[in-house]
Amino acid sequence: MRSLLWLRRDLRRGDHPALLAASGEAGSHEVAVAFVIDPALWGPAGPVRRAWLAASVRAAREEYDGRLTVRVGDPREVVPALVRETGAASVHVTRETTPAGARRDRSVARAVSTAGAAWVETGTPYAVGPGVVRSGSGEPYRVFTPFARAWRTHGWPGPAPYPRRLLLAELDSDPGAERLLDDALTVDDLPALPEAGERAALERWRAFREDGLTGYAAGRDRPDRDATSRISADLKVGALHPRTLLADLADESAPGVERFVTELAWREFYADVLHHHPRSAWSDLRAGLSALAYDTPEDAVEAWRRGRTGYPFVDAGMRQLEATGWMHNRLRMVTASFLTKDLHVWWPVGARWFLQRLIDGDVASNNHGWQWVAGTGTDAAPYVRVFNPVTQGERFDPDGTYVRRWVPELGHLPGGSVHRPWDHPKGYTHGYPRRIVDHAEERREALRRYHAARQLR
């Protein structure tokens, strides 16, 4: 009988265990392939994030020979309706382990069972499924370095083969869903997004392997250079599987290979932590700073969101995020530190803003990255470490190229002077805002609050 493959974070056709299982279950019958636009996720997303998802869904449809149906609505209602419409005997998905995704899937599975179909989870968005890697005593890891060591020792399977036989059902899409995709892709002032889809992602990956890996370790912290892979957005929507990347790197010896694999390990680590500690999605993993005092400075937070803080490196990062749906990782740390330790705002405020806008926004990596900066998560950087937004810019954007690209009001300032417009006689002649806080004073205040919170433990 027919089977139904429900795509979520796996918008590809290659290296797809759930597709392989759906094809095997269907045998000589057809596989219906569907994507569901969930208003609960679509609504809060920013325009660039929606456009990237829309482009990725459309590209996946091409990979499935035009036979990917798109529906809109609550998956608890839409997926059982598809079961009834197609007569599918089984619904196949890639196993989801995020707290919200797992809750949704439990509800959908019950509705699918009521509709008369089996619920089958196969594979994972990660090289090693969250929950698998454990210490010698059987405990989950909460520190990255031992996790990464155990993760490498455990290893991962090779890429899944293509199905030997695959017949795709042809289903009509929901006109309302198609309108949402059209609208998302025709919003005014959209940036030039990367080409979406599995084929384009593989081409980006091959180009990076050939030309970018050698200099990756040395250049990955420089936002003024094109020195990163830029495939995080492809991993987010599942146009690529990390197992594919790791298989390609198995025999590589370029200097940047070890560093790149380590970055993949961070992604796996955060997913594992979230699996074991689902409350850490939106609450501090470590309770040691539960007494820390936070502020809610609405005007200052809005200035941070819009890139109007008066600190050029911070503002460049926030403007890059708003304009492109992506931000260099160095800037993610610097802007997060500014919000949490210069403005004294609890990290979920910033984490939610990032998730709504980042095309690679992943709740595990994003929210635990914020906690790393805030000092309340795994491998917590000491709270006393406060990123200096000026010296960070001078170190990682020494000629000011990155800042001038995103803060045109400072385009007339030469070289590294762009990081200190207050020291230049023409620093404010083109409308750049004055600093909303004094970093040195706020650093002292952050440390005062930290020590006060420690005493209240």
Over residues 75-122, the pLDDT tens digits come to 999 999 999 999 999 999 999 999 999 999 999 999 999 999 999 999
Stretch 211-228: mean pLDDT, rounded? 94
Locate all alpha helices (DSSP H) within 115-227, ordered by sequence.
144-154, 175-185, 198-211, 216-219
Residue limits of CATH 3.40.50.620 in the chain: 1-123
Residue limits of CATH 1.10.579.10 in the chain: 287-455
Stretch 184-188: mean pLDDT, rounded? 95
Stretch 271-280: mean pLDDT, rounded? 97
Q: What's the pLDDT at 350?
A: 98
Stretch 52-62: mean pLDDT, rounded? 98
Residue 379 confidence (pLDDT) above 90: no
Residue 349 confidence (pLDDT) above 70: yes
Residue limits of CATH 1.25.40.80 in the chain: 126-157+198-276
Instruction: Give the Å distances, CA to CA, from 427 to 224, 283, 412, 420, 457.
Output: 21, 40, 9, 8, 45
Residue 380 confidence (pLDDT) above 80: no
DSSP-assigned letter for residue 339: I
Residues 398-437: tens digit of each pLDDT: 999 999 999 999 999 999 999 999 999 999 999 999 999 9
Is the CATH number 2.70.70.10 carried by domain 126-157+198-276? no
For domain 287-455, give the fold: DNA Cyclobutane Dipyrimidine Photolyase, subunit A; domain 3 (1.10.579)
Beta strand ranges found along 169-274 (DSSP E): none
Stretch 212-221: mean pLDDT, rounded? 93
By the 8 A CB rule, do 19 and 5 touch?
Answer: yes
Q: What's the pLDDT at 288?
A: 82
For domain 1-123, give the fold: Rossmann fold (3.40.50)
Residue 297 confidence (pLDDT) above 70: yes
Residue 381 confidence (pLDDT) above 70: no
Residue 295 confidence (pLDDT) above 70: yes
Residue 286 confidence (pLDDT) above 90: no
Residue 457 confidence (pLDDT) above 70: no
DSSP per residue over 50-82, as a string?
HHHHHHHHHHHHHHTTT-EEEEES-HHHHHHHH
Percent of the chain as helix, strand, coil, to the nearest 5: 55, 5, 40
Tell me which of 354 and 252 has the higher pLDDT. Answer: 354
Stretch 136-158: mean pLDDT, rounded? 95
Q: What's the pLDDT at 290?
A: 85
Q: Which residue has the tokens 């955060």?
A: 270
Window from 155-164, 251-260, 294-303, 397-406 with minimum mean pLDDT? 251-260
If you average pLDDT over every residue of the chain, what do you get? 95
Q: What's the pLDDT at 178?
A: 97
Q: What's the pLDDT at 455?
A: 80
